[in-house]
Amino acid sequence: MNEYLKAVLNWGFEQGVGYQLCYRLSPVTPSGSNPKSKTVVINMNWHDPAQLPYQAAHEIGHVLNQDSGSLYMFTPSKVRYEGEANKRAIDILVPIYFEDVYPEDANIQEFLDSFHIPEKMRDWATDSIRKYYA
């Protein structure tokens, strides 16, 4: 488990969100969450390991947003719940990633690339980074 994933899961745990790491799932099975039980399930076999911190933050976002329903999978869809969870994921990751980075060294592209965050999230990430340093 990389340090960013560990930091995201620890942050979620501090917010009351539990987690389970699964090592037996297919590389194409998405991570998921159950807002009712305040738990996220992370597929540690995901085909893009760099994306795991973003996925974990996304799933924690579903729990913290108290999204209705029993299970939300990480998908790039434009459904309202997914969009809000994507935004929440960025807001969770920004202070973790930029904790030891001076404002003049903050680089949006490096941030997006580090977690393989979709380009469509660039504007939200830019705003979140600006707010972090304000």
**pLDDT tens figures, 81-124:** 888 999 999 999 999 999 999 999 999 999 999 999 999 999 99
Joined together, the tokens standing for residue 121 give 């999230």
pTM check: above 0.85? yes
SS3 for 106? coil
Q: Do residues 15 and 64 make contact, with C-beta atoms less than 8 angstroms apart?
A: yes
CATH class of the region 3-133: alpha beta
Give the N- to C-terminal CA distance of the chain in Å, as an integer. 31
| pLDDT tens column, 8-55 | 999 999 999 999 999 999 999 999 999 899 999 999 999 999 999 999
* Alpha-carbon Rg for the chain in angstroms: 14
Looking at the predicted structure, is the pLDDT value of residue 78 above 60? no
CA-wise closest residue to 119 among 94, 84, 86: 86
